[in-house]
Structure 1
Amino acid sequence: MKKKMYLLITSLVLLSLLLVGCGGGNKSTNNQNEASDTTKTNTGAVTIKIGHVEPEDRSTHKTLLDFKKNVEEQTNGDIIVEIYPNASLGGDVQLTESVAMGTLDVALPSSSVLTTYAEDFGILDMPYLFKNSESAFNALDGDVGKYFDEKLADQGMHNLGYTYNGPRSTTTNNKPIEKPEDLKGVKVRVMESPIFIDYYKTLGANPTPMSFNELYTGLQQGTVDAQENPPSLIFANKFFEVQEYLSVDEHVHNFLAFVMNKAKFESLTPEQQEIITAEGKKCVESQRKMELEDNEVAIEKLETEGGLVVNRLSEEQKNEFKEALKPMYDKYREQFGAELFEMCEKYNK
């Protein structure tokens, strides 16, 4: 009797363990399915990789962070934006090539680099082409921008807008630049751009192409007497330590194109394209505003903290420079076409 009772109890215990085991197995399966669903959602997201050469403290990167946040929120995570600053994926030339080839999704190269894809992008480097930043913004948001957008589309790039790299101004080590004659004989560091070289040659200066990372040493050692860049970049790179004067001449309003691989853009759903387009526009607008504010702060800091003697050119003084540049304008009017110049110049009225 005892033996039968023992066998009965043992059977009941084994049955209980078996039922618990089955229940545990069902719970484990459910968890795996939930994990699988989550993985599937993440895997299905579209990743957009953005490369640029600016440091994190510049307006370009700051506003791209907002672009990332807004796009990811509005698409409920169906689009993930990754940003690679500081030329970590290459310089402007390499980044643009990568976007055109489709190995990178988005880049923000200087318009000067885009002459490789359409020679007449060079007109945007013409000194005193636009009388101020507002005229330049209106042109790039208007038919001038549309004209160049079509050129980029032909090269496999969809443009989301033109961010602002600031108004380029001049620093010198021995005298301020107030009139064209002041540049005669001055050794000025320039980018390796035919237009920038022609600009200074026309005014009697000695333009010296030099890479940006060698510029501080070049100024320090006297290889060059002067350089030109947006004030925010001049302050960030401490050129005030090896220069004496800042002439706010704003000779070129420099832009960065917000280019996306065309095939990648077209692969998005219509709703996603709308979001990218709208947020790209917002990014451009906020970046320009921030850059203009940063520019004014930088000019003040260059004077108060950097100790530079600052002079701002009046509109009349800028017109003197443009008058002295007529031979250069005649040359490039023939090269780029009078129609394109007229398209730009109408925004100065």
Structure 2
Amino acid sequence: MKKNFISFALLSLVLSGVLLGCSNKTEAPASKSDNTGNAESITLNIGHVEPENRSTHQALLEFKKNVEERTSNSILIEIHPNGALGGDVQLTESVAMGTLDMALPSTSVLTTYSDDFGVLDMPYLFTAPENAFKAMDGEIGEYFNAKLEEKGIHNLGYSYNGPRSTTTNVKAIEKPEDLKGIKMRVMESPIFIDFYKTLGANPTPMSFTELYTGLQQGTVDAQENPPSLILANKFYEVQKYLSVDEHVHNFLAFIMNKNKFDSLTEEQQQILTEEAKSYVEKQRALELEDNKKAIEKLATEGGLQVNELSEEQKQAFKDALKPMYEEYSQKFSKELFEKSDKYNK
């Protein structure tokens, strides 16, 4: 009887352990799965500040579709536009810390991770979008990718935020002397302030949200932004001239937390890298087309007098900016300036 009691007690303990184990397993956090029931799938969240109708978001929709199809949904993509997860600075910090998987911030904010990123804001660093693309896909992009890698950020490419051009309500801007005395709204950037000071303008830092009113009330005479953005924000209502000078070619870095990228399988990394390259190519083409259409609409529908600067005219501006280049070549890598200029040949 005693032997039977001991056996029953041991059996009860074993059963309790099994039941307890089952209970613990049930309460553990469930792994992410897609609608096919694949428990191995992971979700990558991408944040950006652009609206849904911009090329950045439109091309991302195709990136999402292609990545999910090629990985058989082992990678799922969630896109968060309109600054829903924060501005460019917050998005970049989140990716660096690993609280966000991926983002598309302006390279202007990446000076936090390397001062040399400021070079990309230098006026007339590149004389045409195609020259800028070759540089960012080549030696210049590789240089900055290495800088980010040191900070725990893996970069998948550089999408295009458009060619910045100038509008005024005073006169067309065709040569450096035309900017003298003009009250120019600028971003709160030392480089942009020095740019216009060097050419004799009166740079006025102003929030983008206040710009339309500033132009309307005459607080500033002029502003500079990509044509697609000028059109979207109806600056043509309070400006008369558009000079397509393309003085700065803005880029967005397609960044990803390095630890997250390294945690993927080799096949997943390859697919993500290939589709990111395709994304960049598609987005750039869309943005160039959007800007071309915007310039036409600003003339026909917006009533702006449009003039497009020739390569010779752009060079005249760059020549006038030599004092600024000499100053900043001391701050940034002089070699970086020289390498960038090779892509203009």
Q: Does TM-score exceed 0.5, indicating one fold?
A: yes
Which one of the candidate residues 265, 277, 284 is aligned to 2:280? 284
CA separation in 2, counterparts of 1:265 and 1:226? 43
| Aligned equivalent of 1:125 | 121
Which one of the candidate residues 220, 243, 250 is aligned to 1:247? 243
| Residue 266 of structure 1 pairs with residue 262 of structure 2 | yes
CA separation in 1, counterparts of 2:162 and 2:330? 28
Q: Which amino acid aligns with 1:150?
A: A
| Residue 229 of structure 1 pairs with residue 222 of structure 2 | no
| Residue 190 of structure 1 pairs with residue 186 of structure 2 | yes
Q: Secondary structure at the match of 1:286?
A: helix
1:41 Cα deviation after fit: 3.3
Provide closer, same or farther for how the CA distance between residues 87 and 39 of structure 1 changes in structure 2, counting only shifts above 3 A: closer
Provide Cα deviations, 1:203-241, integer angstroms capped at 9, x if missing partner: 011111112111111111111111100001110111111
1:188 Cα deviation after fit: 1.0
| Residue 76 of structure 1 pairs with residue 106 of structure 2 | no
- 302-311 vs 220-229, which deviates more? 220-229
Q: Indicate conservation of the 8 Å contact 2:34/2:41, yes or no.
A: no
Q: Secondary structure at the match of 2:244?
A: strand
Aligned pairs (5 A) from 1:26-175: 41-175=37-171
Q: Secondary structure at the match of 2:166?
A: strand
Matched residue pairs, number? 313
Provide closer, same or farther for how the CA distance between residues 40 and 332 of structure 1 changes in structure 2, counting only shifts above 3 A: same
| Residue 204 of structure 1 pairs with residue 187 of structure 2 | no
| Aligned equivalent of 1:7 | none
CA separation in 2, counterparts of 1:218 and 1:85? 27
Q: Secondary structure at the match of 1:207?
A: strand
1:320 Cα deviation after fit: 0.9
| Residue 330 of structure 1 pairs with residue 316 of structure 2 | no
Q: Indicate conservation of the 8 Å contact 2:145/2:154, yes or no.
A: yes
Provide Cα deviations, 1:320-344, integer angstroms capped at 9, x if missing partner: 1111101000001111122111111
1:270 Cα deviation after fit: 0.6
Q: Which amino acid aligns with 1:139?
A: A
Provide Cα deviations, 1:119-161, integer angstroms capped at 9, x if missing partner: 0101011111111111100000001000000001111110000
Q: Secondary structure at the match of 1:198?
A: helix
CA separation in 2, counterparts of 1:305 and 1:85? 28
Provide Cα deviations, 1:9-55, integer angstroms capped at 9, x if missing partner: xxxxxxxxxxxxxxxxxxxxxxxxxxxx9889355321100000111
CA separation in 1, counterparts of 2:270 and 2:251? 24
| Aligned equivalent of 1:297 | 293
Bigger Cα Rg: 1
Provide closer, same or farther for how the CA distance between residues 295 and 267 of structure 1 changes in structure 2, counting only shifts above 3 A: same
TM-score (norm 2): 0.89
Q: Secondary structure at the match of 2:111?
A: helix
Q: Which amino acid aligns with 1:52?
A: H
Which one of the candidate residues 331, 345, 348 is aligned to 2:344? 348
Provide closer, same or farther for how the CA distance between residues 67 and 204 of structure 1 changes in structure 2, counting only shifts above 3 A: same
CA separation in 1, counterparts of 2:338 and 2:34? 56
Q: Which amino acid aligns with 1:95?
A: L
1:191 Cα deviation after fit: 1.1
Question: After the TM superposition, which parts of structure 1 deviate over 2 Å for at least 4 consecutive aligned residues?
Answer: 37-44
Q: Secondary structure at the match of 2:44?
A: strand
Q: Which amino acid aligns with 1:184?
A: K
Q: Which amino acid aligns with 1:229?
A: N
TM-score (norm 1): 0.88
Provide closer, same or farther for how the CA distance between residues 291 and 76 of structure 1 changes in structure 2, counting only shifts above 3 A: same
Provide closer, same or farther for how the CA distance between residues 248 and 39 of structure 1 changes in structure 2, counting only shifts above 3 A: closer
Q: Which has the higher helix share?
A: 1
Provide closer, same or farther for how the CA distance between residues 38 and 181 of structure 1 changes in structure 2, counting only shifts above 3 A: closer
